[in-house]
Amino acid sequence: GENVEQHPSTLSVQEGDSAVIKCTYSDSASNYFPWYKQELGKGPQLIIDIRSNVGEKKDQRIAVTLNKTAKHFSLHITETQPEDSAVYFCAPLDTGRRALTFGSGTRLQVQP
Amino acid sequence: DGGITQSPKYLFRKEGQNVTLSCEQNLNHDAMYWYRQDPGQGLRLIYYSQIVNDFQKGDIAEGYSVSREKKESFPLTVTSAQKNPTAFYLCASSRDGTGQDTEAFFGQGTRLTVV
């Protein structure tokens, strides 16, 4: 199965600063790399994803970069806002099971 | 509105009782999944189903059972054999699990408490 490690576990930034969260995975055949945001008491919501045929994808203040050789991908949030405060999960696809394997999560706190 | 509906939102169970959590989707998705989340932790895969009438065990299937008799429904039963069932349970679906279209949509979860 897929082994996933996510760092850091907590991240505190000032409003307007950037935040970066990193995820490493073990399944070299994995071809789908999403990031989810979870607010308290709710289910995770997809915020951005990338497939293995590209190295970077941006959506306004959010970007994901992928290094398939090193088997890691990262979430970048620029100009952070208080509403970005939440728990973020990486969830690369386990190609054997064809199911997402979640990292342990990063609690992001944006200080106003 | 299309989406995934989990019910109930909160569930209390006495020790030794089985309980079934409901998950329904109207997205016409083939694949459905059950995850468990403990406080401050990530999501762990319990069971998954890529197609009707077929399902596979995930990482923590012991003490749980599922069925997939209909495309839109994937109920999870927490049996008395599950030693520590208190957790937040999340159901998800995706169009398919082949890697071509694997964006997963989640329900709002069921918080199960054993009393």
Nearest residue in B to A32, CA atom: B99
Cβ pair A88, A21 in contact under 8 A: yes
Q: What is the pLDDT along chain B (115 residues), one digit of tens a residue?
A: 569 999 999 999 999 899 999 999 999 999 999 999 998 889 999 999 999 999 999 999 999 999 999 999 999 999 998 889 999 999 999 998 665 667 899 999 999 999 8
Instruction: Give CA A31 to chain center in angstroms.
Output: 15
Cβ-based burial of A103 (10 A; exposed 0-12, middle 13-18, buried ≥19): buried
Q: Look at A87 and A52; give whichever has higher pLDDT.
A: A87
pLDDT per residue as tens digits for the range B91-114: 999 998 665 667 899 999 999 999
What DSSP character marks residue A107? Answer: E
Among candidate residues B45, B18, B24, the one with its CA nearest the CA of residue B34? B45
Q: Which residues of A touch B (CB under 8 A)?
A: 1, 6, 31-32, 34, 36, 41-46, 49, 89, 91, 93, 95, 97-105
The whole-angstrom distance between A104's CA and the closest CA on chain B is: 4
